[in-house]
Amino acid sequence: MFKFEGTRKPNFSEIKKIDYNRYWSERGFEINKKLKERELIILDFIESSKKVLDIGCGNSLLPVELKKKGVLVKIADISEEVLKGFKKYDIESLYIDLEKIDGLKLDEKFDVIILSEVLEHTKNPEEIIGELKKYTKSFIITVPNSAFYRYRIGLFFGGRFFTQWVYHPSEHIRFWSHIDFLDWLNAMGLDVEKSVSSNGFSLFGLAPFLKNTWKNLFGHQIVYFCKVK
């Protein structure tokens, strides 16, 4: 069977009910040592002294680096392991279950809310944005582009969808191409000020402009800077 990078034959026999506390406990929670490409873009964009809430951050180094920059950052996650993990960095944390977002009550508003590689994991992203809009005028959102060229080739020739999960099929349950996501953000009442492909096809580094010239084909993970209308 044809196999292309970005696709695989998933092992359905090892599926267990997903539990993020168990996930982080078994994996051993440890903050990443480096910033990912998308996180470098976000860090550069956010000015010092801004109030920021990073939701679903997992073990990202970004909140730590934002704090070093002088950003007033808080994190939010569903996993108590994650919340405890950030305490030693003196970063305030909030417990938020995005699938039970109705009636969310936060004590303050933020200049920016970050949702990086989060919405594709949720069954109710429309409700999530609707509730969080009450607490900010700006979002930074990143999602993978499901129309990335490698995924198209793998599906066409190999007959398998791109890699959607590692531990459980419900890890990615919403899918957007770049064009889809622009339409979706507009429907959610968000204006996209700019979008940047943090990685993608660059012809072995010879044509780095490709991933941002044709995002829907060559952009892999894309960062969206949005304002509430």
Residue identified by tokens 């417990």 is: 95
**Mean pLDDT across the stretch 12-31?**
70
- The per-residue pLDDT of the chain, averaged, comes to 90
pLDDT tens figures, 42-82: 999 999 999 999 999 999 999 999 999 999 999 999 999 99
Domain count, the chain: 1
The SS3 assignment for 222 reads strand
Q: Return the beta strands (E) in 132-220 as ranges.
A: 138-144, 190-197
pLDDT of residue 14: 59
Is 196 inside any structural domain? yes
Is 3 inside any structural domain? no
Is 1 inside any structural domain? no
> Cα–Cα distance between 225 and 111 in angstroms, integer?
12
Confidence of residue 119 (pLDDT cuts 50, 70, 90): very high
pLDDT tens figures, 153-170: 988 988 877 766 666 666
Phi, psi of 60 (to 5 degrees): -65, 140
Angle at 187 between CA 181 and CA 191, to 5 degrees: 75
Burial of 140 from C-beta contacts in 10 A (0-12 / 13-18 / 19+): buried
Is 2 inside any structural domain? no
Is 5 inside any structural domain? no
Dihedral in degrees, nearest 10, Cα atoms 198, 114, 30, 104: -150
CATH number of the CATH domain containing 105:
3.40.50.150
pLDDT of residue 160: 79
pLDDT tens figures, 165-196: 666 666 788 999 999 999 999 999 999 999 99
Range of 41's domain? Answer: 12-228
Strand order in the sheet with 51-55: 93-95, 72-77, 51-55, 112-116, 138-144, 221-228, 190-197
